[in-house]
Amino acid sequence: MDTLVADGVTGFTTRRVAQAARTSTPAVYELFGDRAGLVREMFFQAFRQLGERFDQLDATDDPRQDLIEVIGTLRGFVVDHPALGQLMFSRPFADFDPGPRERSAGDKTRQFITARVRRCIDAGVFTGDVTDIAHIVLGLARGLASQEAAGWLGTSQESVERRWELAIDSIFAGLAARR
């Protein structure tokens, strides 16, 4: 994972991982099968790390604020680990196409977000389909966090925060206005 972070997707090779681990390329292949196997394990680990962050969030009596905290947690993870965010939420490696087993790694993330959205619906904060809203919330968080991580969301922290607030308020208002 350190090699992916340091070298990015384009510089990530099995040979480079072996060098960083002070081992041989065949040893990496023996452990992971191929580069796709190595990428697969990082994919699983990234979702475990995000899950650990979600596990630290407590539900309160304010479901709207709780969902904002989930968005902030996802934001923090992607900003702290942009290469992992890219691995988790896009397809940066041609030789790694997540199948059902890999997609299940994200189930805990989806279930956590969906549960928080369900609480907002149950409290009357939002109206609509829980799955649709969860996808919208996840897409908003992933997109803006990726932009922020790449330095495209603003030139000052103030502008970045303002855009996050505008996006969240706009989406939440739209979901509430559907009554």
> Does residue 95 sit within a domain?
yes
> Does residue 9 sit within a domain?
no
> Does residue 34 sit within a domain?
no
In the structure, what pLDDT confidence band is assigned to residue 106 with cuts at 50, 70 and 90? confident
> Does residue 11 sit within a domain?
no
> Does residue 3 sit within a domain?
no
pLDDT for residue 178: 62
For 59-82, how does the pLDDT look when each residue is reduced to its tens digit (9 = 90+)? Answer: 999 999 999 999 999 999 999 999
**Matching residue, tokens 């928080």:** 116
> Does residue 72 sit within a domain?
yes
CA nearest neighbour of 86 among 9, 138, 12, 10: 9
Instruction: Judge contact between 119 and 59, C-beta under 8 A.
Output: yes
CATH number at residue 43: 1.10.357.10
> What percent of the chain clears pLDDT 90, i.e. is strictly above it?
77
The amino acid at 156: S
Containing structural domain, residue 53:
39-176
> Does residue 154 sit within a domain?
yes
Look at the chain and report how many structural domains it folds into: 1
DSSP string, 45-109: HHHHHHHHHHHTPPP-S-HHHHHHHHHHHHHHHHHH-HHHHHHHHS---TT----HHHHHHTHHH
Q: Is the pLDDT of residue 179 over 60?
A: no
How much is the pTM? 0.90
> Does residue 167 sit within a domain?
yes
For 133-172, how does the pLDDT look when each residue is reduced to its tens digit (9 = 90+)? Answer: 999 999 999 999 999 999 999 999 999 999 999 999 999 9
Question: Quick one: average pLDDT of 99-128?
Answer: 91
CA dihedral 54, 151, 162, 178 (to 10 degrees): -60
Question: Quick one: average pLDDT of 124-137?
Answer: 96
